[in-house]
Structure 1
């Protein structure tokens, strides 16, 4: 019998996770680099990703797409797309208004918001999760407090990043409901398409320029689509079939130092030294929330 060793199985998974972390880490630096309005970048990011998925969605998956129309799962896809539009409409401007390091760290508080949403719904977080929530809130307060002494724009960027994290938590919760009945491709295509339509409406309503960018900006937008939007998510989905969701969730936090390093190396953005303890505390708190959630699930089984 041909049995592959654990090392043979692990190597592709490690490679996939490495590629995924690098891909998502490039997102915020690319947004900051692109000489285009944040809302326009968000529109192109989602519309182009949806366009890439269209041949599959309307080809091999067209039967599933047809069944999703008018069904509960399809409705969850649309609502998830609305939440995703809210996420991009808040977080992406925060990257351009503030620093890459702070915006990425604050939007990484998504699991904290998910824990609080669960508490409101009557699912009490574990003691470890409450500890993590407290650490993350303290870290966010520290980083935002530092920005109070910088400028009002920096504080606005922090608030937008936190709102982006909240919207991402809602998007994830709705997406979990949709993916219980639909394939990832069908869910993603409907969700991205809904998000793109909403963002297009906002851009047209407020007169946001959607064209006329230089070559470097278009290259950055295409890199966002290929990297963070498609490759990063695909590699994480691949890894989820071979390792635990908790492991993947914790590794996603590497996006924070990864984005900070790329912003420093590529864009010359040096994180403020006084904000680093707060950012470290925030990321540690989010990690505790994720690990606490995993422990709680194991206890309940």
Structure 2
């Protein structure tokens, strides 16, 4: 496998900063969760279409049956991840929803162990426990035991499981396909899934205020094409576990944005939790063996 031009952690960090804005953009729209998800994916596919047709269209002919199946499953999981997560934002706060939806190591470590036989070192488990503990601390002061908030928390947790499944299936296919082809195929399948979901539910495809259309496009550009596409790029060289732990940065950025945009106040538990999350992520990332192996390969 060829070496990447830059260290995979760099685009992962940029991707995390991009997806941290997603919950804010969603809450600024007035449409239903399924509609928001549909237009987010639809505009993403439209923006990618010219590049795909000009440079990558022939690559689609070489997809194996397994590639199609795994891409289809990944696309469906991605679609329902957005549905459950966007819906959760109608019932609980940005901080709680984002924290729960980014608790992916709980699912990713189990998934990579059973699907890819990846061994979990003590450092990996310890860093995950620390990071997840930080996420719980962030949400502690924001959790409410009311029926609506608890329902929103459950939706976000389901969304968390679905995005992890999407990454797990994508990890296998991404190693054999170019970034553009893989992303275009998965996003297209996700768009089709969301179209039928919205149609069957009887939700409206429009009209919507001009502001909503603006946020639909912004969701496609920043969290999707910049955020998730960078994660898909990184999957060729790193494990789903790496991305899952890095994404734990998202609640920190989302909580800060929610404070300024929606006046959702940051409490001491969120600040302390953020420090704990960063500590857990740094423990995982600053792995002497991984860094030494990477720089050694660059010198070779």
Instruction: Indicate the TM-score class for this superposition, using the shorter chain for normalisation.
Output: 0.7 to 0.9
Instruction: Name the residue aligned to 1:49.
Output: 44
Q: 1:166 and 2:173 equivalent?
A: no
Instruction: Name the residue aligned to 1:107.
Output: 101
Instruction: Name the residue aligned to 2:219.
Output: 224
Task: State how 1:7-86 maps to structure 2 within 5 Å.
Answer: 20-68=15-63, 71-86=65-80
Question: Unpaired segments of 5 or more residues in structure 1?
Answer: 1-8
Distance 1:140 1:171 in 2: 21
**2:261 aligned to 245, 266, 272, which one?**
266
Per-residue deviation, residues 148-167 of structure 1 (Å, max 9, x unmatched): 64422212222222222211
Per-residue deviation, residues 54-110 of structure 1 (Å, max 9, x unmatched): 222233211101222x53223221121111112112212122321112222222222
Distance 1:289 1:176, change over 3 A: same
Distance 1:199 1:105 in 2: 24
TM-score when scaled to structure 2?
A: 0.79
Deviation at 1:247, TM superposition (A): 8.5
Asked if the contact 1:99/1:271 (under 8 Å) is kept, the reply is no
Distance 1:293 1:33 in 2: 42
Q: Considering only aligned residues, what root-mean-square deviation do their CA atoms show, in Å? A: 3.7
Question: Unpaired segments of 5 or more residues in structure 2?
Answer: 294-300
Distance 1:197 1:238, change over 3 A: closer
Distance 1:162 1:215 in 2: 32
3-state SS of the aligned residue for 1:93? helix
Deviation at 1:35, TM superposition (A): 1.0
Distance 1:293 1:230, change over 3 A: farther
Distance 2:134 2:153 in 1: 12
Would you say how many aligned residue pairs link Structure 1 and Structure 2?
286
